[in-house]
Amino acid sequence: MSGTLSLSRTALSEYPPGKAMSQSTLNAEFERVILPHLNSAYNLARWLLRNEHDAQDVVHDSFLRAHRYFESFDGSDGRAWLFGIVRNACFSFLRASKIQQIPTNEDLDLRSSGEASPEHAMMLKEDLQALRDCIEALPPEYREAVVLRELEELSYKEISVAAGIALGTVMSRLNRARIRLENCLTAKAKEIG
Amino acid sequence: MNCSLAQEMLGPYVDGELDANAELQLRLHLSECESCNAVIQRLQRRRRMIQSGGLRYAAPPGLEARIRKSIRTGRTGSNWRLWSAIAAAILVASTFSIRLTQHFDTQDRLEQQVISNHVQALMTGHTTDVVSTDQHTVKPWFNGRIDFSPPVIDLASQGFRLLGGRVDYLDGRAAATLVYQRRKHIIDLYIWPAQAGDATGAESSKGFNVIRWTERGMSFTAVSDLNKTELEQFRNLLRAT
């Protein structure tokens, strides 16, 4: 519910069609204010969708959507505004395709292939692989909180704006995500031995 | 501060999100609690690992050029199936997301969630999104934010002052949260449409009292560090109105 609510709040509300700004000025402004956040947008989509092709599609469409509703953007925080659009598109996509659960073996194989490394580097690589797997295994709402906080370094307030949730919910999601992450990593460490 | 409360604050502490007062209280606790210090070190270690692990994905080459191109030509660059799927999904999204989130949170008891939510709101000083003692200001504020209209009742003359409201997500449900004050105690009143299986009754945990009841199709949960007798009085006043 949070997803659709904030989509309607950020993107669909109060879109004034013929505002007095030429299309080329608008495009230039969009490319200046919103487009620089492409990597951030892609990072979020890639983690939420766990698939490169879907992430590209959803990000591309999110930017077009952002562009279409750019005049309703209040000029404050372009990145948080864009995150709101991207995450809503991702969650809608997940619901539509119901692929939000297990990563495929193919994905795992692709990532773990690589050159042989010295033992300490192998350990580090295994740790990182475990970390990656454990983040991917989080429920999408928790994964979103971790990605926005740790990788995109958003404040709780910014996350609450982007995800359309209360500040307390940001905190409890992060708390629970971290507990799950820790449990998962402990379990993996035992597996490896 | 007891340890179980402190543990909920460790994440926000490491994130630099506690307000000055909460941070001070936590630091007092940290000066004498080894296990909480260990958790902080682990959280910091984990953060370094996540941030230095090359886990951030960069947009593939070519994506930016494709986006620029479709912005200039004003055409959608990618498949229509995606958006028709999304449009269909939005129609059913509210139902779905409720189920999804319920699924994730099954292990977390609602009561614990309500208490954490209450504590976290107090900790960050973020208790209200709409600040008003006027019920006729608070009630309309919820329009468009949630899909039901909670009863908003002012009990100032009975010693429970309405401070405002906010929207929370608990157990996968959107809750209209009304904030009241009794002397120096804050009461959070969580309201959502009643569902089969909603519990009722009074309990206490971690020094907080929780009272739940349903009435006229709505489920109410009042949480506060106020004593049980006065919290029950609060409930009775609301029910009588």
Confidence of residue A4 (pLDDT cuts 50, 70, 90): very low
- Looking at residue A73, its pLDDT comes to 85
Provide the Cα torsion A101, B174, A173, B197; round to 10°.
-70
Q: Is the pTM of this model over 0.90?
A: no
CA A132: distance to chain centroid?
14
CATH number at residue B146: 3.30.200.100
Neighbours of A176 (CB within 10 A): 22
In a domain, B58, yes or no: no
CA distance B94 to A87: 15
- Looking at residue B205, its pLDDT comes to 79
Taking CB atoms and an 8 Å cutoff, what residues of chain A touch B55?
128, 131-132, 135, 151
CA distance B210 to B201: 8
Taking CB atoms and an 8 Å cutoff, what residues of chain A touch B89?
92-93, 95-96
In a domain, B172, yes or no: yes
Structural domain containing residue B41: 3-52
Q: What is the pLDDT of residues B129-177, one digit of tens each?
A: 888 888 888 888 888 788 899 999 989 999 999 989 988 877 777 899 9
How long is chain B?
Answer: 241
The CATH 1.10.10.10 domain(s) of chain A lie at: 105-192
User: What's the fold here for domain A105-192?
Assistant: Arc Repressor Mutant, subunit A (1.10.10)
Average pLDDT over residues A121-142: 85
Contact A4 B97 (CB under 8 A): yes
CA distance B100 to B170: 13
* Bigger pLDDT: A71 vs B68: B68
The CATH 1.10.1740.10 domain(s) of chain A lie at: 2-97
Whole-number average pLDDT of chain A: 79
- Rounded to 5 degrees, what angle do the CA atoms A86, B129, B197 make? 80
Contact B63 A59 (CB under 8 A): yes
In a domain, B204, yes or no: yes
- Helix pair angle (A23-33, B63-73), 10° resolution: 160
Confidence of residue A85 (pLDDT cuts 50, 70, 90): very high
Which residue stretches of chain B have pLDDT < 70?
74-109, 124-126
Q: How far apart are the CA of B201 and the nearest CA of chain A, in angstroms?
A: 24
pLDDT at A13 over 50: no
B228 in the same domain as B119: yes
CA distance A73 to B164: 27
ipTM of this complex prediction, to 2 decimal places: 0.76
B181 in the same domain as B119: yes
The DSSP bridge partners found for residue B30 are none
Confidence of residue A120 (pLDDT cuts 50, 70, 90): very low
* Residues 135-164, chain A, touching B (beta carbon < 8 A): 135, 139, 141-142, 146, 149-151, 155-156
Structural domain tally of chain B? Answer: 3
User: What's the fold here for domain A2-97?
Assistant: Rna Polymerase Sigma Factor; Chain: A (1.10.1740)
User: H or E stretch including B219?
Assistant: strand B218-224
- Looking at residue B122, its pLDDT comes to 76
Q: What is the pLDDT of residues A52-65, one digit of tens each?
A: 999 999 999 999 98
Q: What is the CA radius of gyration of chain B?
A: 22
Average pLDDT over residues A27-35: 91
B225 in the same domain as B183: yes
Residue bearing tokens 């977390």: B108
Confidence of residue A111 (pLDDT cuts 50, 70, 90): very low
